[in-house]
Structure 1
Amino acid sequence: MTAAPPPRGSRRPSRPHGEASPARQAIAAATSGLAWSAGASALLRALPRCRRLERPNYQGRTVSLRGGIATAIGATAAAGRAGALARPSALTARSGAAAVIAASAGGAAGLIDDLDAGAHDGQAPAKGLAGHLGALWRGRVTTGALKIAIIGSGALISGALLARRRAPAARPRALVADAAVSATVIGAWANVHNLLDLRPGRALKASALISAPLLAWPGQAAAPTRALAASALGVAAASAPEDLGERTMLGDTGANSLGALVGAALAAAPSRAFRHGAAVTGVALILASERVSFSRVIDSTPALAALDALGRRDR
């Protein structure tokens, strides 16, 4: 005797063969980010000490930039892994490729700036976006200006890939507008993370606070955002112990790369209004940093100061 079929409407829509649930995809992406960053960090620790990577931090302690290099490796590798996790469904090759390009451009540009350490900036080092653009206007190319060009180029390519993924049949004007907004999101948030990397763990906490809510975005269209956000969380978790313990620092290398990955997660969001909001917020924070000290604001706000000091090594 055969069993009666279930009532109509009682079945949940089945996933395509081989596609993991959103929760499993997020866990796999986070694990990938954590594993890649932790593995890169362990490998770099095993290498001979490199004094060129050592810097004094805000308290005068000598820390190593190898932590930022490990973070950049983890962010780039995890972005590529995230692009493979959800195939062949919502997260296409273009989303993963966009994040890889964004994270690798951020890491490469940051490493150039870190290794140069202002040697090519002249006697009066340029500071802030206005300072580097002003120096460029006067004919002096600083590493900061070079960093803007590299990160900006990577963000433009990434934005174009994300725009094509969302609407492959859209009109050219609409594609250009979407790509420009997505590129702004990626470039701006890469820079915001760099601006925040003035205290141990600060940029990592910011990436976690931005990425964690994105995991709850429902729907198949948000799969790229969820996977990339989970990857960023894994990278941040792996980088936190040494960064908070003041053994390493992110530097421009790690902060720009991780920030670009977070920016790619924001730019991959299915909501156009959300993407525009992320672009406006990122640009506003950069412009505000030209006149306002983020550290001063954080230190003068009890809740932010407590969060900023959480997990940090005692003085």
Structure 2
Amino acid sequence: MTSSAPGAAQPSRAARILQGLRLELRRTNFSGRSVSLAEGALVVATVSSLGLRSSGRLDAGLLAGVGVLGLADDLLEPRQRRAGRAISKGLRGHLGALRTGRLTTGAAKALGIPLLTLAGAAAAPGPRAGAMVLADGALAAGCANLANLLDLRPGRALKVVLPAAVALSALTPGEDTRARSGRVLAVAALVPAALALPADLREHGMLGDSGANVLGAAVGTAAARALPVPARLTLLGVVVALTLASEKVSFSAVIDSTPALRAMDLLGRRSSPVTTGDDGRTP
């Protein structure tokens, strides 16, 4: 047995906690590289902070809630896997587990995120009819889920979030309170997404469920407040169609087999062999 040398400095409790947290946030990505989920946690904090400029504490709190649900999934699912417990995949899998009386972290997200986005839609500034509150809440929740579905390769989700956030922040019409709120939320997604992109592409960090969910929710909520009703309903239809398709089709397979999409997906990324990581994200 070895022991520390007499008088050797021992790490403080704070240092031990920090080291434990750092290890808890480490993941092996699809290419076998070690990355940190701290990127996602920082994105959640930044989006939520910038969201304070929208409708005060409400939007910030709701976005933080979306991020916390994602972070819980990021942290708890690997523990369940290491313990040998069955892990449900996809929306169908999580809802199926829920029907058997087992609440997975994915099911908690599938229930919690729509409730949060619905609350945000109900409390949004400006005119809101009952049916459109439901549609706006569904749009924000659907975008949160879609961003997460895309986050299977470095930079992929960010390459979708960034153009959407730029367009919404630049093209928001009007100067009414609702439009300004949408513009603020678009910027709240744009800034942290742009800051996270270099580290994500270089595989130093990853968004995880927390970062992808909160960026998608911010963009979806911004769209719900900035776009006219026909555009919102069209976008909702596209998001729903892609979500349903993801249960049957691999986005990665479609992207890899489409030259233009593959070129965009590889832009800025490191070249690396494709392996399966232990973060629970399938290629």
Using structure 2 for the length normalisation, give the TM-score: 0.83
Q: Percent identity?
A: 44
> Secondary structure at the residue paired with 2:188?
helix
Which one-letter code corresponds to 1:111 in the other structure?
Answer: L
Instruction: Return the offset for 1:119.
Output: 3.8
Shift in Å, 1:175: 2.9
Aligned to 1:201: 155
Paired with 1:78 and 1:57, the residues of 2 have a C-alpha distance of 29
Q: Is the 8 A contact 1:66 1:248 kept in 2?
A: yes
Counterpart of 2:118 in structure 1: which amino acid? L
Say which SS state the counterpart of residue 32 (structure 2) adopts.
Answer: coil
> Shift in Å at residue 124 of structure 1?
3.0
Q: Measure, in 2, the Cα distance between the counterparts of 1:106 and 1:256.
A: 7
Describe how 1:65-214 pairs up with structure 2 within 5 A. Answer: 65-81=37-53, 83=54, 93=55, 97=57, 99-120=59-80, 123-162=85-124, 165-167=125-127, 175-214=129-168
1:58 aligns with 2:13: no
Give, in angstroms, the shift of residue 234 of structure 1.
1.0
Deviation at 1:270, TM superposition (A): 4.5
Partner of residue 173, structure 2: 218
Residues 89-128 of structure 1 deviation map (CA, whole Å, 9 limit, x = unaligned): xxxx3xx555324421220101100110244476431110
Cα distance in 1 between the residues matched to 2:66 and 2:255: 25
* Residues 52-99 of structure 1: per-residue CA shift (max 9 Å, x gap): 111110101111100110111111111113x2xxxxxxxxx3xx5553
Q: Deviations over 1:153-196 (max 9, x none)?
A: 2111101012xx222xxxxxx73212101110110000000000
Residue in 2 that maps onto 1:255: 212
CA contact (8 A) 1:102 1:155 kept: yes
Deviant stretches of 4+, over 6 Å: none
Matched residues in 1 for 2:64 and 2:70: separation?
A: 10
Q: Does 1:272 find its partner at 2:234?
A: no
Q: What is the rounded CA distance, in whole Å, between the counterparts of 2:59 and 2:151 in structure 1? A: 21
User: What letter is aligned with 1:290?
Assistant: E
Question: How far is the alpha carbon of 1:229 from its aligned partner?
Answer: 1.5
Match of 1:291 among 240, 248, 255: 248
8 A Cα contact 2:77 2:87, kept in partner = no
Deviations 1:283-310 (A, max 9, x none): 1111110001111111111111111111
Cα pair 1:98 1:159 within 8 Å, conserved: no
Residue 15 of structure 1 corresponds to: none
Provide closer, same or farther for how the CA distance between residues 210 and 242 of structure 1 changes in structure 2, counting only shifts above 3 A.
Answer: same
Give the structure-1-normalised TM-score.
0.75
Give the length in aligned residue pairs: 249
How far, CA to CA, are the matches of 2:172 and 2:121 in structure 1? 20
RMSD in angstroms over aligned alpha carbons? 1.8
Q: How does 1:1-16 map to 2 (within 5 A)?
A: none
Unaligned runs of 5+ in 1: 1-46, 84-92, 168-173
Q: Distance in 1 between matches of 2:61 and 2:147?
A: 17
Query: Unaligned stretches of 5+ in structure 2?
Result: 1-17, 273-283
Deviations 1:195-248 (A, max 9, x none): 000001111111012222222233224333223222211111111111111011
Moved more, 301-310 or 188-197: 301-310
One-letter code aligned to 2:171: A
